[in-house]
Chain A
Amino acid sequence: MTMPRPPGPSLRFVAVWRRNLLVWRKLAIPSMLGNLADPVIYMLGLGYGLGALLPEIAGISYIAFLAAGTLCYSTMNSATFEALYSGFSRMQVQRTWEAMLNAPLELDDVLLGELVWAASKSVLSGLAILLVAWALGLTASPLALWSVPLIFLVGLTFGAIGLIVTAIAPGYDFFMYYFTLFITPMVLLSGVFFPAEQLPGAIQTLGQALPLAHAVALARPLLLGHVPESVPYHLAVLAGYLVVAFPVAVALARRRLLK
């Protein structure tokens, strides 16, 4: 047997990315509705509806607080759905990856193409929230533009974690476990809808170990026009998840498809 190799992708991943872009262009309108309209509706509904009942949080309105949470949540969801459901369709149902592997693409190229694609799609989702927040006057600072590269990084991080789940999934039903056991608890621990300080200390610590809290910790001050604290630390946690998760996803996909 050959020894396991580290990922060795090439620039050919761009062809995979372009393939997904071409499909997206054909299905853009329903895809936009799902990815963009849904979180905007939630943000407005919760922000104004629930927000009317709440006092200010840390000196800002609830909807202004919620904007950064929604930005990160929406970015994460978009990358996750792409890596899970769409990725699984291409891997298992349509056998798109198999067709690619018969061409001069390696599985590493295919996964890198999927990862960058998932992050690219999540940028659209994040940008839409950012635009809505700007239009509503919830963010005005040029600092908010720094959230664009942040969105891309968050998309890469959750895309990579999602690809691990896809690589081990027996079917679509399996993804419910991931959402129920990982995504949903993490959202509640990460300061998306309310400050994590509301939670007991031990649970706060758990939230701090997960990537979404670090995305929120960077996005919220940026949207409010402040320079975030501990920027290198938060970026390192997000990047750390990415650089661990992607090689794991590649290894698991190799074990599944190249045996």
Chain B
Amino acid sequence: MAPLTVAGLRKRYGAIEVLAGVSFEIARGKCFGLLGPNGAGKTTTLRCVLGLTPPAAGEIRLCGEPVPARAREARIRVGVVPQVDNLDPDFSVAENLLVYGRYFGLPERVIRSRIPPLLEFAGLAGRAATGIRELSGGMKRRLALARALINEPELLVLDEPTTGLDPQARHLIWDRLMALPKRGVTVLLTTHFMEEAERLCHDIAILDHGRVIARGPARELIAAHIEPQVVEVYGEGAREWAQAHASGLSARVETAGETVFCYLSDATTLLAHLEGQAGLRYLHRPADLEDVFLKLTGRELRE
């Protein structure tokens, strides 16, 4: 059975319908990414899934249990890495794990035996006695990850696991997360880093205005929704150039500020043309998930 099935989830805060019928299912041992701009309903979906807020309509089955009716029983088999750090600042690294393990009703002996391998996994070996206030942001995130694994969960839920981390710290978290599906842990993460989703997720759902607007592996989403090549053109006169020439040379053109995005299947003709344009700079690259995301959710700011 799938570790998580969500069907027809609806939730409203005042006049705003935050979830307008969200449905998805996660296959066991896979990493599933929930993507969307701010306010798309990602965090609300997670809160519903964990039984922390009741949906107005819809069905949730988490680790075989109906939620919210048996959310507590379901959460016994789920680990959560929250978006905002909530480690216990008065405790050491090891005490954080010990106390958290007690919340699951685990015997003391079991928790203590799990702490050293978890610290090893999280790159925190030798830090057991360190206080939380002495940890860097990346170490705190890794400890939050270790803490979420103390109950050996079937499903690990991460809400924007690398927001605010530097590239080194982010790569280390990615590396750890990639190891989890191989151990049979199913992963559900939200992110608005497309690179993160492309690297980690076997399956992706793009959420906007409370609906799943696209679903599939990154490569399939790119193939289905967008031309395979992109040429970005910038520099003085890029907009004028675009008005005169771009649509004739590309399948689809988008302009954002001073940058022109030309989407197309074969860039040969366009690139030859651009070679002759003084003052224009350009970048030729394969289309990626970010292009799909921006096409589907628009380029306007969401605040």
Contact = CB atoms under 8 A, between A and B. Distances in A.
A99 interface: yes
B95 A102 contact: no
B72 A106 contact: yes
Interface in A20-43: 22-23, 26-27
B135 interface: no
Interface residues of A, number: 25
A98 B82 contact: yes
Interface stretch (B28-36, B102-110, B210-218, B287-295): B102-110
Contacts of A96: 86, 88
B105 A94 contact: no
A104 B68 contact: no
A23 B75 contact: no
Given A1-B54, A104-B75, A105-B103, A26 B90 contact: yes
A95 B72 contact: no
A15 interface: yes
Interface string A235-259: 0000000000000000000000011
A12 B103 contact: yes
A96 B52 CA distance: 15
Nearest to B86: A95
Residue in B85, B88, B151 whose Cβ sees the most chain A Cβ within 10 Å = B88
B73 interface: yes
Interface bracket on B:
20 to 34
B99 interface: yes
A134 to B, nearest CB: 33
Given A22-B95, A103-B75, 14 more contacts: A1-B56, A12-B103, A15-B99, A15-B103, A23-B91, A94-B86, A94-B88, A94-B89, A98-B86, A99-B82, A101-B52, A106-B72, A258-B54, A259-B13
A104 B86 contact: no
B50 interface: yes
Contacts of B68: 2
Interface in B87-132: 87-91, 95, 99-100, 102-105
A121 to B, nearest CB: 15
A22 B75 contact: no
A106 B51 CA distance: 10
B84 interface: yes
A100 B95 CA distance: 15
B20 interface: no
A111 to B, nearest CB: 15
B126 to A, nearest CB: 21
A95 B82 contact: yes
A104 B82 contact: no
Contacts of B80: 102
A26 B92 CA distance: 11
B99 A19 contact: yes
B53 interface: yes
B169 interface: no
A258 B52 contact: yes
